[in-house]
Amino acid sequence: MSRLTLTKLRKMKQQGEKIAMLTAYDASFAALLETAGVEALLVGDSLGMVVQGQESTLPVTMDDMVYHCRNVVRGSHRAFVLADMPFMSYATPTQAVDNAARLMREGGAQMVKLEGGSLLRKTVEQLTTRGIPVCAHLGLLPQSVHRIGGYRVQGREESSAQQIHEDAVILQQAGADMLILECVPARLGNEITQALEIPVISCGAGPDCDGQVLVLYDLLGISPGKPPSFSRNFLDGADSIPNAIQAYVSAVKKGQFPTLELSY
């Protein structure tokens, strides 16, 4: 059984079929998520908080990401696997190429994800011209949590919304093949999704994006601390973890998650 490809994910966008994505950090959950119908597994640096017990994603290392990505790839056979580049692992284009190559060669990732706007244009160009697929990440940037003053909704003001939109277009032009929008108003999520040819995945960016992603532990209601206001505990009311994940996939596919009440 071959893995899903970027071509398939782009075709899903073109056909209006929603993409179901979840974070995964180990082989057992990777297998379970894939069986439940999750198309894309994000090996997120969120593992720093939900697996390692860190206060933020910043302490996560390249070795951590390679280790967890390798486990997720071992546990899955069909799902598309992408992995976060951790904090300061892509400070320069050369460093980004070297570390992204590690995630693909040693970790088995099919794509790497970078946080940041148009300043990453050259980095994205360097990666994609070398055959490394890139997922951009705009809106709330967890690796910049100290600079932005906490985990806050981005793009509420017209000027910041315009900047996020412009950055999305620039990163697509630079070669990015996917975009994750985190914690932005639903209206902005819709506008950017309509403007781009690449799949746009919502993480608190409203119901109109091409797909949805949640941190797995938030979906199961077991994350430490207060869950994001855009998430939903799918295990509540389900009689098993597999059923909770299937309920998430079904809700995403039918456009029932997120609701407007779970959007900004």
User: pLDDT for 5-31, tens place per residue?
Assistant: 999 999 999 999 999 999 999 999 999
pLDDT of residue 149: 59
pLDDT of residue 43: 98
**Residue 142 domain-assigned (yes or no):** yes
* Domains identified in the chain, total number: 1
The HSE-up count of residue 30 (CA atoms within 13 Å, CB side) is 24
End-to-end Cα distance, the chain: 39
Which candidate, 17, 44, 22, places its Cα nearest to that of 33? 22
Q: What is the pTM of this model?
A: 0.96
Distance of CA 102 to the CA centre of its chain: 19
**Residue 31 domain-assigned (yes or no):** yes
pLDDT of residue 142: 85
**Residue 1 domain-assigned (yes or no):** no
**pLDDT above 70 for 48:** yes
Q: Supply the mean pLDDT for the chain.
A: 95
**pLDDT above 60 for 146:** no
Q: How confident is the model at residue 260 (pLDDT cuts 50, 70, 90)?
A: confident
**Does 18 carry a binding-site annotation?**
no
**Residue 110 domain-assigned (yes or no):** yes
Q: How confident is the model at residue 148 (pLDDT cuts 50, 70, 90)?
A: low
**Does 45 carry a binding-site annotation?**
yes
Q: How many C-beta atoms surround the C-beta of residue 256 within 10 A?
A: 11
Q: CATH number of the domain at 46, please.
A: 3.20.20.60
Mean pLDDT, to the nearest integer, of 107-115? 98
**Residue 191 domain-assigned (yes or no):** yes
**Residue 197 domain-assigned (yes or no):** yes
pLDDT of residue 225: 81
Q: For residue 36, what are the domain limits? A: 6-262
**Residue 188 domain-assigned (yes or no):** yes
- DSSP 8-state code for residue 236: T
CA distance 203 to 189: 10
Q: How many C-beta atoms surround the C-beta of residue 173 within 10 A?
A: 12
Active site residue 182: yes
**pLDDT above 80 for 248:** yes
Instruction: Using DSSP bridges, classify how beta strands 178-182 and 211-214 pair: parallel, antiparallel or unpaired.
Output: unpaired
The active-site residue out of 17, 158, 182, 261 is: 182
**Residue 20 domain-assigned (yes or no):** yes
Please write the tens of the pLDDT for every residue from 166-187.
Answer: 999 999 999 999 999 999 999 9
- In this structure, what are the phi and psi dihedrals at residue 99, rounded to the nearest 5 degrees? -75, -35
**Does 113 carry a binding-site annotation?**
yes
Integer Rg of the chain from CA: 17
**Does 263 carry a binding-site annotation?**
no
pLDDT of residue 147: 63
